[in-house]
Amino acid sequence: GGARTGRGRRASFSRTTAGHLARLARAGVRGARPENWYAITALSDGGPAFAEDEPITISPSQVEAFTTCGLRWLLASAVGAQEGGPNEYSTMGKVVHAVAEMAGADDGVDEVHVAQRLDEIWKDLEFRSSWYSEKQREQAARMVDKFLAWHRDNPNEVVALEESFKVDLGRVVIKGRIDRAERDDQGRAVIIDIKTSSTAVPKDELARHPQLGVYQYAVMLGAFERHGLIEPGGAKLIQVGKAAFTAKAREQEQPPPAEDADPEWPKRLVEIVATGMAGDVFQARANDKCRTCPVRSCCPVHDEGGQVGD
């Protein structure tokens, strides 16, 4: 219908342009044709990514992505430009998460059982070479060991594992999935996110870590009420990859919003991000993850992107 025409045109403009850029980026093209730079400039301050009546669905990781760089978020959400590095990396994440879920579900789980499960999962995977597979297998086993040691010492009660949630705020809908929810000794919810990445979150950024903040906000909004969890008691990243300590998992904890100087910060964050996503300016913001950005070669804030010869 007529009402959808503008949105359709906008969507196809975004998709074509962003798709083109993402393909170039994937092909590792460092220099690109000037029309692409024009295109990305146009895209940076083009029309809104959401039509006026369209619900704005955001996930905790998207809030984080948008906060980090609006342009990368836009391109990733328009064309699904590869996030998180090559496939083996995300496969590793999936393996560790699968084992972690099993460990959480079964209190009496023993290490032999977990090792067997890891072997089973491994057999289902395809790797480039057996050498590579062997290396990755060792790395996954180390991560799993760290996770299990952390799990054994963790005093909280595990309440939910790999659970999806949805909170409807009217136009804004928060949708996400948690690795696990726990109940602490005060009956509060502690949301756990397992990370297999190689970089830890800088200490001074933890208190306002967007993804953890949105989890805690979701708790406040009743996302886990069915488990009797209504008050956030903090959220934690459990680092088991290279960002962990050598011998054990590293816990990175965000305190409950009630303990923050501004207890309303997660609410405000969601509002700012939702408004930004629905807006018409998408800012490319240099950040420490630019290195791994799939659209870096097309990015106007980087030299290889900004300098376009005539």
Residue ranges that bind ligand SF4, judged by CB under 6 A: 69, 71-72, 284-287, 290, 293, 295-296, 299, 301-302
Nearer to ligand SF4, 22 or 237 (CB): 22
Minimum CB separation of residue 132 from ligand SF4 in Å reads: 28
Q: Kindly tell me the burial class for residue 288, based on how many C-beta atoms sit within 10 Å of its own C-beta (0-12, 13-18, 19 or more).
A: exposed
Where would I find the H helices in the chain? 2-26, 34-44, 60-68, 70-79, 87-105, 111-123, 130-153, 203-206, 210-220, 265-278, 303-306
Nearer to ligand SF4, 118 or 293 (CB): 293
Minimum CB separation of residue 293 from ligand SF4 in Å reads: 3
Minimum CB separation of residue 281 from ligand SF4 in Å reads: 14
Minimum CB separation of residue 83 from ligand SF4 in Å reads: 11
Minimum CB separation of residue 77 from ligand SF4 in Å reads: 13
Minimum CB separation of residue 130 from ligand SF4 in Å reads: 35
Q: What angle do CA 262, 74, 203 make, to 5 degrees?
A: 40
Beta strand 189-195 with 232-239 is parallel
Decide if 282 contacts 71 (C-beta within 8 A): yes
All residues at 6 or more sequence positions from 154 whose CB lies less than 8 Å from its CB, including other chains: 182
Cα 98 from Cα 113, distance rounded (Å): 13
Nearer to ligand SF4, 263 or 306 (CB): 306
Task: Give the up-direction half-sphere exposure of residue 227: CA atoms within 13 A in the CB hemisphere.
Answer: 23
What one-letter code names the amino acid at 47? Answer: G
Nearer to ligand SF4, 118 or 284 (CB): 284
Which structure tokens are listed for 112? 């032999």
Minimum CB separation of residue 20 from ligand SF4 in Å reads: 15
| Count of CB atoms situated within 10 Å of the CB of 55 | 14
Cα 147 from Cα 244, distance rounded (Å): 10
